Each structure stands twice: as C-alpha cells, then as structure tokens.
Amino acid sequence: MAETPVCDFGWPMPDFSLPDTDGKVWTAADVRGEKGTLIVFICNHCPYVKAIERKLARDARDLKALGIGVAAICSNDAAAYPADGVPGLREQIGRAGFDFPYLVDEDQSVARAFGAVCTPDFFGFAAEGGLQYRGRLDASRAQAGPEDLPRDLYEAMKQVAETGNGPAEQVPSMGCTIKWKTA
C-alpha cells in the first residue's frame, strides 16, 4: 500500500506518447482538454482501483462535459501481473464503462516522469498545464464506499475547470504500489 505525495502546484505535465489498448498512439496534446486534463494511473488487478472504477467512469464522463480531457495509464509490469496486460485492460474497460483512452506504459518511463507511486494515482492539470490536484477520487479504500460519498476528484477538477486552481486542501490517494519491472 502506498499514498500519493502532496500536490506540487504548478508542476508541468510531462509529455508522453503511448499506445492505447487498440494500438492507437496518444500524446499529452491529444488528451489535453480545453479546461484542463486528468491523467490517472490505474491497473486491472488492484483492489483499490476495482473499488472505484465505476465511479471513475462516472466522474470522467462528468468532467469531460466540463472540458476536462481524461486518460488512464497502466504502467504495471504485465509480465509479472498478467491481469494488467492489454487483454485484462480491455476487459476492465468493458466492466467499468470507461470512455476515455486507456494507455499502456510498457517501459514505465511515463510513470517515472510523472512520479506516479500507486494505483490509483490522479494528476489533475489546469488548462495551461500546471498541476492542481493530486488527491483521491473519494473516501473509498480497497472496498467501494457508499455511492453518496463526497466526490473529491470531481469537485476539485470542476474547480480547476472554473478557476484554473485546485483546492488548497487535498486528501492523498491510496492504493497498491506501481508494479515496477526488476532491473
């Protein structure tokens, strides 16, 4: 189990070029939204991700309607965690109802560039690119919390879309560590 660090406000979004589960290559510019961008590091096998994946699909749809671009990235070692390979990610897309690009960071360079530490790990950027949110989706942990939990991620990114700034107070996300490849 790991927890995300405090938001480094204004930190610029790293550029990337990654394939989705169908092989289409996406860049940071392709994902960027008019009012901001949300990059989410997730995977298929983690109980923390499974607990919130349907809520993530809901929040992503609602945020896209506000002009926030959304993409998920799986950086886990799929050789060691086969459920996190492309077939497993495709199954997760269907199960959770994701309607955003789900990208595969096979060499883990993008996770390293972002400083991602766990799944889920949320990076919410303002329209001009500076980091404004590094908190949790909601108070769910390894089991899904009630549907009526406050929507921390959604409310924070709505604020980013409206003002360009994220909330000063943010609760860290918690989850399984990124499954790094051994050297």
Does any domain span residue 183?
no
CB 63 within 8 A of CB 98: no
Q: How many residues does the chain have?
A: 183
Max Cα separation, the chain? 44
Give the pLDDT confidence of 137-167 residue by residue, as tens digits.
999 999 988 989 999 999 999 999 999 999 9
Is residue 183 over pLDDT 80? no
Does any domain span residue 43?
yes
Does any domain span residue 116?
yes
* Mean pLDDT, all residues of the chain: 96
Does any domain span residue 41?
yes
pLDDT tier at 1, thresholds 50, 70, 90: confident
Is residue 27 over pLDDT 80? yes
Looking up residue 19, the CATH number of its domain turns out to be 3.40.30.10
Distance CA 57, CA 63 (A): 10
Number of domains the chain contains: 1
DSSP 131-145: EEE-B-SSS--SS--
Residue 57 structural domain: 2-177
Does any domain span residue 158?
yes
Give the pLDDT confidence of 29-60 residue by residue, as tens digits.
999 999 999 999 999 999 999 999 999 999 99
pLDDT score of 133: 98
Does any domain span residue 182?
no
